[in-house]
């Protein structure tokens, strides 16, 4: 029988099973039947072994059959070999996974001590997730929106949290794939100019050991169990996640919105050596994980383990998984979490041409998708903003820091200017375009936009880690009061600054990324790492409230429309020297010394027929328009809806007053 493809595949005779393990002495596929709490299994030994792959056919198996693997072989933790047939293992190639870890002790492969103790003899069946045999999926239609990068506006969102409280979504669909497919949700996305949703992880999730011990979930989902299976917890009907996920993709595509998945091919849910044995560790830890000395995991992810991006087993799995999401479900691209890990085989030095990064970039299917790297990991060696190959766009952390610093009155204005015009200093030399810079001010990790202007310190006590988790480098401001306030003055300043940052983001050259709920003035109460809070802390509030959410949504929609309608605001190429110029508030061109003035709080960018003025100070200030032509205001971020009080055109050389914390966009007329 054929060795490939890996996984479980039904045919007329039953199902073909194939799983990779170079360290096993024997592998059994176990068919599981019966209701939860009274499971039974039938074991079939896979007698064929080719190229390190165990394979065989089991007659009579049909779609819907639950199964797992049991691996027999050496147990030498100090050597990274942890075969333990008492643990039933999920198939890395499973296209559907059911169940969850209900007994942490049973899920562990060791007793007493993970390195020196004996293997656990507790059978994990009934306490851990199982794989499910699926029917062959038809190839997804190739009629994707194919939005050009230069016209792309991304919103990062959580499938569950985005619609869990949405009043127009039927209760049974809230927090599910079908909830995100609801017309009211899609219309909102279209209104604020979103052309692509970037979904926090939707590949099958299992809570990591540290959260299981605290009784908390991994709400964000950066704890992958199966790289090919949609997470069952986001289905409105148990077991219907494959069809519902595809329905969601089709609905978004019909509205012209692309689907980008946040994938986590840098670590798994099993944690470090003291963690669980759910799949990879029990199958072949040395083939999947980067191991340090004495069998310990090399942890450059901060999550306990690191997938070895130099392993052929890992390269095959990740490429096959990404390709599966494209061909079976029609997704349009991927954001790769901690992508620097993929360029560090065996956790070594970073190489942008490393095997896994190259394999993805040249794959005939994946190379046609949008590829976004999070260009860092948990170490200094991994911080590689600008260091990826030409096929990759990147989350630009330098953009985030520069914009936050400017609007809180810190940093050099020269750094802001480089980021607002597309970061050519970072991306042009490699031959990439401005859209390679995925610009963002907020993301899922860190403060929301509202909290960014309301808190100067994190407040993560609800996570159960004594407020030690989450970054301390927030670059935020609270305008004199930590947290919520009834002061109308402080609230007005916060909203003005938030609007200014939104306008800066959407009017900058590059690919803007919004965060779901920021446009609705969402707060997490100062929690900057709400990864384990599946509650109102993390869910988007769609209630009318005091009207602020509606106003901010309208403002976001207006700025997005201005971006869409003005070619210079979604450029495909970097500015030539003759196309853009920077203007001092006194009405002259910026000079070399101006860029190093740490007290400078106002600057103007003149591009062809548009003038963008940014003023980051709590006091109003004078600004003299550049000479020549007339300038008509089209956006004033100091106004709640962004519509200038007066759209009367003004002659060049006129001195105007910039409101506190404001962005002004003007069109130049001959």
Which residues are the active-site residues? 337, 374
Q: Taking Cα atoms as reference points, which of 351, 95, 374, 347 lies closest to residue 222? A: 374
* Residue 282 C-alpha from the chain's centroid: 28
Give the SS3 label for residue 131.
strand
Q: Is 460 helix (H, G, I), strand (E, B) or coil?
A: coil
Distance in angstroms (rounded) separating the CA atoms of residues 609 and 629: 10
SS3 381: coil
Secondary structure (H, E, C), 18-73: EEECCCCCEEEEEEEECCCCCCEEEEEECCEEECCEEEEEEECCCCCCEEEEEEEC
Q: 10 Å Cβ neighbour count for 543?
A: 10
Strand partners, 633: 666
Q: How far apart are CA 362 and CA 25, in angstroms?
A: 35
Residues in the chain: 670
How many Cα atoms within 13 Å fall on the side-chain side of residue 622? 6
Closest CA to 609 of 667, 660, 530, 566: 667
CA distance 331 to 371: 12
Q: Report the greatest alpha carbon distance in the chain.
A: 84
Q: Give the separation between CA 220 and CA 236, rounded to whole angstroms.
A: 18
CB 235 within 8 A of CB 176: yes
What does the block give as tokens for 276?
A: 């669980």
Nearest-Å Rg of the Cα atoms of the chain is: 26
The whole-angstrom separation of Cα 23 and Cα 376 is 32
User: What would the two tokens of residue 387 be?
Assistant: 């260091």
Cα dihedral value 294, 300, 306, 308, nearest 10: -90
Q: What's the per-residue H, E or C state across 244-287?
A: HHHHHHHHHHHCCCEEEEEECCCCCCCCCCCCCCCCHHHHHHHH
Q: Which two tokens stand for residue 646?
A: 């007066």
- Centre a 10 Å sphere on the Cβ of residue 286 and count the other Cβ atoms it contains: 17
The set of residues, in sequence order, having a beta carbon less than 8 Å from that of 318 and lying 6+ positions away, is 227, 265, 307, 342, 356, 360
**b/e per residue, 257-284, with b = 16+ CB within 10 A?**
bbbbbbbbbbbbbbbbbebbbbbbbbbb
Neighbours of 603 (CB within 10 A): 24
As a dihedral over the C-alpha atoms of residue 155, residue 156, residue 158, residue 164, rounded to 10 degrees, the angle is -30
């Amino acid at each position: 029988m054929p060795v490939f493809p890996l996984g479980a595949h039904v045919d007329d005779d039953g199902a073909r099973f194939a799983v990779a393990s170079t360290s096993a002495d024997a592998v059994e596929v176990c068919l599981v039947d019966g209701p939860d709490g009274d499971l039974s299994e039938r074991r079939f030994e896979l007698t064929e072994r080719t190229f390190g792959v165990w394979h065989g056919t089991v007659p009579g198996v049909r779609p819907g059959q639950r199964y797992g693997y049991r691996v027999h072989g050496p147990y030498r933790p100090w050597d990274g070999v942890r075969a333990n047939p008492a643990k039933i293992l999920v198939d890395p190639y499973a296209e559907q996974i059911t169940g969850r870890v209900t007994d942490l002790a049973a899920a562990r492969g060791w007793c007493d001590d993970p390195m020196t103790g004996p293997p656990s003899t507790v059978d994990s069946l009934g306490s851990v997730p199982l794989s499910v045999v699926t029917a062959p999926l038809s190839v997804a239609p190739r009629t994707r929106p194919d939005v050009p990068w230069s016209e792309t506006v991304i919103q990062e969102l959580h499938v569950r949290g985005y619609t869990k409280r949405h009043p127009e979504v039927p209760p049974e669909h809230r927090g599910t794939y079908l909830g995100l497919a609801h017309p009211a949700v899609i219309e909102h996305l279209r209104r604020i100019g979103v052309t692509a949703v970037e979904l926090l992880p939707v590949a099958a999730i299992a809570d990591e050991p540290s959260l299981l011990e605290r009784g908390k979930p991994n709400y964000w989902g950066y704890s992958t169990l199966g790289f090919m299976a949609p997470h069952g917890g986001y289905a409105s009907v148990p077991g219907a996640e494959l069809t519902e996920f595809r329905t969601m993709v089709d609905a978004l595509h019909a509205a012209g919105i692309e689907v980008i998945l946040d994938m986590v091919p840098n670590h798994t849910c099993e944690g470090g050596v003291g963690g669980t044995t759910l799949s990879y560790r029990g199958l072949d830890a040395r083939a999947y994980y980067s191991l340090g000395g004495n069998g310990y995991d090399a942890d450059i992810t901060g999550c306990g383990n690191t997938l070895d991006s130099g392993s052929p087993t890992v390269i095959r799995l990740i490429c096959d998984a990404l390709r599966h999401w494209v061909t079976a479900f029609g997704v349009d691209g991927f954001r790769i979490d901690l992508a620097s890990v993929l360029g560090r085989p065996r956790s070594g030095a970073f190489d942008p041409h490393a095997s896994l990064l190259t394999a993805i970039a040249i794959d005939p299917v994946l190379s046609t998708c949008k590829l976004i790297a999070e260009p860092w990991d948990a170490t200094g060696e991994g911080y590689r903003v600008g260091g990826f190959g030409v096929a990759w766009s990147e989350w630009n952390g330098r953009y985030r820091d520069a914009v936050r610093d400017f609007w809180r009155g810190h940093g050099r204005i020269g750094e802001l200017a480089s980021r607002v015009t597309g970061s050519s200093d970072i991306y042009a030399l490699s031959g990439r375009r401005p859209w390679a810079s995925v610009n963002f001010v907020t993301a899922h990790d860190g403060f929301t936009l509202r909290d960014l202007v309301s808190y100067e310190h994190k407040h993560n006590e609800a996570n159960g880690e004594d407020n030690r988790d989450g970054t301390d480098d927030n670059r935020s401001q609270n305008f004199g009061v930590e947290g919520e306030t009834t002061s109308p003055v402080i609230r007005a300043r916060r909203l003005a600054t938030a609007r200014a940052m939104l306008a800066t983001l959407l009017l900058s050259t590059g690919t803007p990324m919004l965060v779901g709920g920021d446009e609705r003035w969402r707060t997490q109460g100062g929690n900057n790492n709400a990864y384990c809070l599946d509650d109102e802390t993390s869910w988007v509030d769609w209630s009318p409230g005091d009207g602020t959410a509606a106003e901010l949504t309208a403002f976001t929609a207006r700025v997005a429309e201005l971006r869409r309608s003005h070619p210079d605001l979604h450029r495909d190429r970097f500015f030539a020297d003759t196309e853009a110029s920077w203007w001092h508030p006194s009405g002259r061109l910026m000079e070399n010394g101006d860029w190093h003035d740490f007290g400078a709080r106002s600057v103007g960018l003149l591009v062809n027929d548009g003038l963008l003025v940014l003023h980051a100070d709590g006091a109003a200030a004078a600004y003299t328009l550049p000479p020549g032509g007339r300038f008509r205001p089209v956006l004033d971020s100091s106004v709640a809806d962004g519509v200038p009080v007066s759209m009367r055109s003004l002659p060049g050389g006129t001195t105007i007053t910039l409101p506190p914390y404001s962005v002004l966009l003007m069109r130049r007329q001959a």
